Amino acid sequence: MDLDKVIRKVPDFPKPGILFYDVTSIFLEPTAFKYVVDTMLESYKDKQVDGVISIESRGFLLGSCFAYTNKVPLVLARKKGKLPGKTISQSYLLEYGSATLEIHEADLIPGKNWLIIDDLIATGGTLEAVSSMIETVGANVAGIFSIIGLPFLNYKEKIGKYRPKTLIEYNSEEC
């Protein structure tokens, strides 16, 4: 499967100089969508994953596939101010700005192994923030899955210890 062919690239979005990798184009192609989900499921079939944490918003699409198939809980990491209950939160720097993510505190069960799922790893700041929330409540990071990785932004310095799995990597901000 040549995923590169089905990933839409949008130059200068959301800021000049950023090449935006839009994975929503994968979901338009049933064969590509199936490949991504099947590969994700296969990658963790022998690992102990007690639950999934998916990151707003594109991470939700894959996280729900994993949780539904493996019959494990799905927890949403959402942008600040969206969750109604008591939350834990973590702020972090992005490739293009800063952000805060929140998780319902009661959803994260201590001692369990959580797989984190997102669409793209750039600097790794988002996934480092979610990993930190998981560890703060005494739970474990079982792994990190993302469709795209941008290794030239050195995300492994932040999250390499969680063995992030990606399906395609890009080595510069070029189409």
User: For ligand AMP, which residue of 6, 118, 139, 144 counts as binding (CB under 6 A)?
Assistant: 118
58 is catalytic: yes
Confirm or reject binding of residue 95 to ligand AMP (CB under 6 A).
Answer: yes
Task: Identify the H or E element spanning 43.
Answer: helix 30-43
**Residue in 29, 42, 56, 95 annotated catalytic:** 95
Q: Considering only 35-43, 60-68, 81-89, 114-122, which stretch makes contact with ligand AMP by CB under 6 A?
A: 114-122
Pick one of 63, 124, 143, 149: the residue that binds ligand AMP (CB under 6 A). 124
122 binds ligand AMP (CB under 6 A): yes
Q: How far is the CB of 122 from ligand AMP (least distance, A)?
A: 3
Binding mask 16-45 for ligand AMP (x = CB under 6 A): --xxxx------------------------
Cis peptide upstream of residue 14 (ω within 30 degrees of 0): yes
Residue 7 touching ligand AMP (CB under 6 A): no
The DSSP string of 95-156 is TTEEEEEEEEGGGS-TT-EEEEEEEEESSSHHHHHHHHHHHHTT-EEEEEEEEEE-GGG-HH
Binding residues among 57-76 for ligand AMP as defined by CB under 6 A: 58
Distance in angstroms (rounded) separating the CA atoms of residues 41 and 38:
5
Residue 102 within binding range of ligand AMP, rule CB under 6 A = no
CA distance between the termini of the chain: 19
Of the candidates 146, 92, 152, the residue with the CA atom closest to the CA atom of residue 121 = 146
How far is CA 98 from each of CA 23, 74, 81, 90, rounded to the nearest angstrom? 21, 25, 15, 11
- Which residues participate in catalysis according to the annotation? 58, 95
Q: Which residues bind ligand AMP (CB under 6 A)?
A: 18-21, 55, 58, 94-95, 118-126, 155
